[in-house]
Amino acid sequence: MQLPQHEARLAVIAELQKTDLEWTRIHNGYFLDYFGVPHVESHMTPVAFTVDMANKAAAIPGTGDDVVAFTYTRDLAKFVVAALDLPASSWDEAMFCYGDKVTWNEFLRVAEEMRGSKFTVAYDSVEKLQKGEMTELPSHPAVYPFFPKPMFQQYFSKFALYVTMGLFDLPEDGSLNREFPDIKPTTVREMLSVWVGK
């Protein structure tokens, strides 16, 4: 159940493992930018996955009780820059960083608080997601001209399945967060607060 880009990524990793190059992969949480744009500085194209802040709607994968790590791209940049100062001998093949870790249900509660009203909410079962289907959010049709609905649903239903499998929860032990406690990444509450009064 891999996304199309995973095959290429695994091939690159296999080639890197054959070299003497110093390298690592940095795993970050799901980008928080998607939930703050257009009210935060970001170069990310707004695509609502799970929670549609602008339209006060949500399509939660599974029960909504799986932990998800989130990271603002500007915080990711801070962690990457800091990691470059680590001795290469301390680099693992994979490093981890995140801004906050919450469940989708917790995320939804904060979103509703910041928007000042309840959202329209659907819960997508694992069975539905396994079929490559997911609840359409109001903002989705706007992306269909360049990401057709069948492809969009197939792609993001896999992301949703990854959530239900616990794959969006990043380890705290050995994380760049622990290595660099002076970096104070953006929390979900801080990011979503940009919607207050909007």
Residues 95, 41, 73: CA angle, nearest 5 degrees:
5
C-beta neighbour count of 76 within 10 angstroms: 21
pLDDT at 4 over 80: no
Higher-pLDDT residue of 19 and 105 is 105
**CB-based contacts of 64, cutoff 8 Å, min separation 6:** 103, 104, 105, 108, 123
- Taking the C-alpha atoms of residue 89 and residue 161, their distance in angstroms, rounded to an integer, is 35
Query: What percentage of the chain carries pLDDT values higher than 90?
Result: 79
pLDDT for 5: 63
pLDDT for 46: 80
Of 17-21, 158-162, 186-190, which gets the smallest average pLDDT? 17-21
Delimit the domains of the chain by residue range: 22-195
- Per residue in 122-144, pLDDT (tens digit) is 999 999 999 999 999 999 999 99
Region of 174 on the Ramachandran plot (φ > 0 left; ψ -120 to 50 alpha; else beta): left
pLDDT for 1: 57
pLDDT at 191 over 90: yes
Of 2-16, 132-146, 171-185, which gets the smallest average pLDDT? 2-16
22-195: what fold?
UDP-galactose 4-epimerase; domain 1 (3.90.25)
pLDDT band at 88; cut points 50, 70, 90 = confident
Query: Which sign, positive or negative, has the C-alpha torsion 154, 159, 161, 167?
Result: positive
- Summary mean pLDDT of the chain: 93
pLDDT for 6: 65
pLDDT for 16: 80
Query: What percentage of the chain carries pLDDT values higher than 70?
Result: 97
pLDDT for 2: 60
